[in-house]
Amino acid sequence: MLKNILSPKTCANCRICCIFDKYDVWETPVITGELKDKLMSSRPDLKFVSKGDSGAYIFNMEECWDDKEEIFRCPALDPSKGCTLGDDKPFDCKIWPFRIMELGGRQVISVASICPELYSKSLKMLCDELDSGLSDIIFAEGEKNPAIVKPYEQGYPILKVKKEN
Ligand code: SF4
């Protein structure tokens, strides 16, 4: 989805967004009920836990902790090949490092500074990409699946605020 500004090769070599420490494990991708049902038949090795009463899920990360490196690895991550879900990646992953968040009752799109590739690009380039139609897609998905909208986290620069209806 971000192919104009982030090449699949760059992502395949990085994978920083598929690894979580104790402090950013809240960033694990949200999985809609529909996607969970699809993955349960195609990927019985993956386990899910419900995300409160939102109707959405996250991966069960209990067995993904690496004691030595003190990180969680996404269970869909193959250490040598990268993400194994292809087009069935959660929406969160398709737009990362853009994040959809909620601040003061409004949806906002921010960017995660941890992504070395995108964070090194100019703000104009990131905003132009959002203005080329991407922000409409992201806000529409947030409307359809509110569970993907995370509470605003300090330190995430806000690039776009959703217009009020
Ligand atoms: S689902 Fe794929 S892209 Fe998303 S965090 Fe897991 S391995 Fe990474």
Instruction: Specify the pLDDT at position 32.
Output: 95
Q: Residue 12: pLDDT above 90?
A: no
Above 90 in pLDDT, residue 15?
A: no
**Whole-number Å distance between alpha carbons of 36 and 88:** 10
Residue 77 CA: nearest ligand 1 atom is 7
- Between 76-85, 93-102, 136-145, the lowest mean confidence (pLDDT) is in 76-85
Helices vs strands, H then E, count in the chain: 6, 11
Select the highest-mean-pLDDT range: 24-28, 60-64, 67-71, 135-139: 135-139
Query: Which amino acids bring their CB within 6 angstroms of ligand 1?
Result: 17-18, 29, 74, 76-77, 83, 85, 89-90, 93
Phi, psi angles (nearest 5°) of residue 61:
-95, 5
Candidate of 35, 74, 99, 115 to mutate for ligand 1, largest count of ligand atoms within 8 Å of Cβ = 74
Whether 27 has a pLDDT exceeding 80, the answer reads: yes
Minimal-distance CA residue to ligand 1 atom 8: 18
Structure tokens at 140: 């529409």
In angstroms, what is the span from residue 157 Cα to ligand 1's centroid? Answer: 23
**How far does residue 59's CA lie from ligand 1's centre (Å)?**
10
What is the Cα–Cα distance from 107 to 37, expressed in whole angstroms? 27
Cα–Cα distance for residue pair 137/131, rounded to 1 Å: 10
Of all residues in the chain, the percent with pLDDT exceeding 70 is 100
